[in-house]
Amino acid sequence: MYEHTSMHVHPAYGGVRQNDGLTREDIYAMLYVSCMQCCFVTSLFIKDFKARYEQPGKYYELMEEKHKQIIESFITKANA
């Protein structure tokens, strides 16, 4: 009962139990995936925010082209 309750009250508990036997390579792979997901969500947020509001759109247009390409690349890779 405690284990079941802990998993619902403390979501991190399940992650600790699940990750207990991971190899270093597994951990690095999970970190990579997490970083890529964060980049995708951030890029998606930027794209949506600039489309919805005028001021972020203006700021986005002032950005260097290479920065715009990086933002777009995460969204394009995820949709490919």
Q: Does residue 62 sit within a domain? A: yes
> What band does 2 get if pLDDT is binned at 50, 70 and 90?
very low
Q: What is the pLDDT of residues 16-73, one digit of tens each?
A: 556 667 788 887 888 888 888 888 888 888 888 888 999 989 999 999 999 999 999 9
pLDDT at 12 over 90: no
pLDDT at 8: 46
Angstrom distance (rounded) from CA 77 to CA 63: 21
Angstrom distance (rounded) from CA 3 to CA 62: 52
Q: Does residue 9 sit within a domain? A: no
The count of domains in the chain is: 1
Q: Does residue 42 sit within a domain? A: yes
pLDDT at 5: 44
Q: Does residue 17 sit within a domain? A: no
Other C-beta atoms closer than 10 Å to the C-beta of 34 total 10
Q: Does residue 75 sit within a domain? A: yes
Q: Does residue 16 sit within a domain? A: no
Helix or strand run (H / E) with residue 52:
helix 24-52
Angstrom distance (rounded) from CA 74 to CA 51: 17
Range of the domain at 29: 23-79
